[in-house]
Amino acid sequence: MNKTFVKLLLIITFIFPITSLGLSTCQGKMINPITDVCWKCLFPLTIAGGKVADPDKDNATPEGKKSLFCACGDPKRIGIPVGFWEPFRVADVTYKPYCMVNMGGFDLNLKFTTPSGTVGVKNGGKYAGKTAFYHVHWYVYPLLSWMNLISGLVCMTPESFDLAYMTELDPLWDDDELSVWLNPEAALFASVPAQVACAADCTAASVGKPINSLFWCAGCQGGVYPLTGTLTHHNGGADASTVIVEKMIFKMHRELLLFGTTGVKGMCGLYPMPWWKKDQYKLQMTYPRVNKESKLACNPIGRTTFFWGVNKEYPIKGEDFGYLVWRRRDCCAL
């Protein structure tokens, strides 16, 4: 009996520190701009409304206005419309407060008390499922400016690398009830018909681009409300982390921290957009695995993770996620 107890104690002592280490130790990797960024995602490139480069025959890019000329500035200067995809932000999705996944797994170790991320089983008997909560870190990441790949465009604004947002310091992120002040319309889209409509958005995003008018949907990831880190359904790490980033994008538009960049209004610079345009964005996973297949690397909002999310999550070192956020730009080249 004593030997059995000792063996059991050794097993518990051995297993639980490993589990604890996986939950508390910050993991991550610095983004390599050469090998980790899918540079084909810059395309399709359009000039004067016509495609001039589209190696992967992309069908998820919004149609720009076909015009030979544009005008910006005061006094007005005539230029040529140019369209491209821009890598402009990086997002961490993590269980661990203050774990900077895309900064190499660096732990800020701030002393502010904040809830940790979780994945748990909700009560419900036959209909029980997993719920989750994640934190997000949002970095300014002006990669094209750093590499001096884009110049002479009026729409581009000078930026430098910065940690722009941490949900650990946002009282709305972990409180579904308090977040209603930010999205009071959420109750209107909790009905079954509104959620069923997301199936159409899922199909559209998976074969092309998402439906902007269904703004409460994140396609195959379901609804975006509430705009918090809470997930009522957890269907795997790739799917969960994707919808968390999608929630964050919508939330930042609502807070007027993200702007419109497409169409005629975007030619000369940013403009306010409190309701997101989903086809303005694409997401590329950077951690724990980078997808090397260019046609699956950058995916529009709401596209199913069935094709690109396989084997992206693994225990301990692969339970947090990093994403490079791409934004479509319509610019006036002077």
Note down pLDDT in tens along the chain; length 334 residues: 444 433 333 333 333 333 333 345 899 999 999 999 999 999 999 998 889 999 888 889 988 778 889 999 888 889 999 999 999 999 999 999 999 999 999 998 887 888 888 876 655 544 446 688 999 999 999 998 888 777 667 787 788 999 999 999 999 999 999 999 999 998 889 888 898 999 999 999 999 999 999 999 999 999 999 999 999 888 889 999 999 999 999 999 999 999 999 999 999 999 999 999 999 999 999 999 998 777 889 999 999 999 899 889 998 889 999 999 999 999 998 8
Query: Per the domain annotation, does 238 fall within a domain?
Result: yes
- Within 13 Å of residue 75, how many CA atoms lie on the same side as its CB? 0
- Global pTM value: 0.89
Domain that includes residue 144, residue range: 27-333
Give the strand pairing for 77-94 and 321-333.
antiparallel
Spell out the long-range contacts of 185-189 with Cβ–Cβ below 8 A and sequence spacing 24 or more.
186/216, 186/225, 186/226, 186/227, 189/216, 189/223, 189/225
Query: Per the domain annotation, does 133 fall within a domain?
Result: yes
Q: Give pLDDT, residue 24.
A: 52
Query: Per the domain annotation, does 1 fall within a domain?
Result: no
Q: Give pLDDT, residue 109.
A: 82
Identify the sign of the CA torsion 243, 316, 287, 109.
positive
Q: Which helix (H) or strand (E) holds 3?
A: helix 2-24
d(CA 296, CA 285): 10
d(CA 321, CA 93): 5
State pLDDT tens for residues 41-61.
999 999 988 899 998 888 899
Query: Per the domain annotation, does 5 fall within a domain?
Result: no
Q: Give pLDDT, residue 129.
A: 61
Query: Per the domain annotation, does 20 fall within a domain?
Result: no
Query: Per the domain annotation, does 290 fall within a domain?
Result: yes
Query: 3-state DSSP call for residue 5?
Result: helix
- The full DSSP string for 189-252 is G-SHHHHHHHHHHHHHHHHS---TT-TTB-GGG-B--SSSSEES----HHHHHHHHHHHHHHHH
For the chain, the maximum distance between any two Cα atoms, rounded to a whole number of angstroms, is 90
Rounded to the nearest 10 degrees, how much is the dihedral formed by the CA atoms of 42, 279, 139, 103?
Answer: -60
State pLDDT tens for residues 135-192.
999 999 999 888 877 766 778 778 899 999 999 999 999 999 999 999 999 888 988 8
Number of independent structural domains in the chain: 1
Query: Per the domain annotation, does 276 fall within a domain?
Result: yes
Query: Per the domain annotation, does 19 fall within a domain?
Result: no
Tokens of 260: 């419109």
d(CA 56, CA 302): 20
